[in-house]
Amino acid sequence: MNAYIYCFILSLLFLAAALYFSKTRVLNFKYSVFWISISLILIMLSLNKRLTEKMAGLVNISYAPAFLFVTGIVFAFFLIFYLTITISSLQNKITKLVQEIGIIKSTKGNGDS
């Protein structure tokens, strides 16, 4: 199987999965937009061999289909980094909420005595 066809099939599967999970509301809208965008970019690169070879040449990758995989990996790293930021933010919010609930409970406990 040709590497371009393989990348095209994988990109279609990711696109179908992103659309399905977005439709069933399992995947948040902003993440579905991210995955749909990545899938469309990879589909475009898989279908346009000249563009892929030109982009691979710009970053000095001699085997152009490897550029498709590198592009996917780079996008995945961006997503992982973004999710790490999101998790850190949520963890800070949870810590603040737990502290506020502790203060509220301790205040109510002292007022009842």
State the SS3 of the chain.
CCHHHHHHHHHHHHHHHHHHHHHCCCCCHHHHHHHHHHHHHHHHHHHCHHHHHHHHHHCCCCCHHHHHHHHHHHHHHHHHHHHHHHHHHHHHHHHHHHHHHHHHHHHHHHHHC
pLDDT tens column, 13-28: 989 999 999 999 898 8
pLDDT tens column, 36-70: 988 898 899 889 889 999 999 999 999 888 888 88
> Which amino acid is it at 40?
L
Is the pLDDT reported for residue 110 higher than 80? no
- Provide the whole-model pTM: 0.68
**pLDDT at site 35:** 86
**Per-domain residue ranges for the chain?**
3-83
Q: What torsion, rounded to 10 degrees, do the Cα atoms 23, 24, 27, 30 define?
A: 30
